[in-house]
Amino acid sequence: MTVLCTLADLEPTGAKGITLADKREIVVVETPAGPRAYLNSCPHNQVTLEILPDRFLNAERSELVCTAHGARFLIGTGYCVLGPCAGRSLNSIPIRLEGETIVLG
């Protein structure tokens, strides 16, 4: 079992960047339907979305924002609704909750 973080870890900014053991970077994000995780790689230019640690979201915490060119992705699906990669999606990473802990798989 690979532990990613806890629900409490998401509270300060609504999302958390994590580097997996295989070096993939992912973002875990709080949504009304529970946590979701995506590969932290913008479909536009394959760069990480954030500049500042764990600062992924718009003010409403409804969209992940790519700081490079402003693409916006729905937190619940990773679907890009605005920007140069509109209509594409972040790659979803399977996670599950074990109590208050978020784990891979």
Q: Which residues bind ligand FES (CB under 6 A)?
A: 42, 44-45, 47, 66, 68-69, 71, 83-84
Q: Which is nearer to ligand FES, 47 or 97 (CB)?
A: 47
Rounded-to-5 percentages of helix, strand, coil across the chain: 5, 35, 60
Q: Which is nearer to ligand FES, 68 or 103 (CB)?
A: 68
Q: Nearest distance from residue 75's CB to ligand FES, in Å?
A: 16
- C-alpha to C-alpha distance for 26 and 99, rounded to whole angstroms: 21
Q: Nearest distance from residue 63's CB to ligand FES, in Å?
A: 12
Pick from 54, 49, 47, 40: nearest CA to 9: 54
Q: Nearest distance from residue 84's CB to ligand FES, in Å?
A: 5
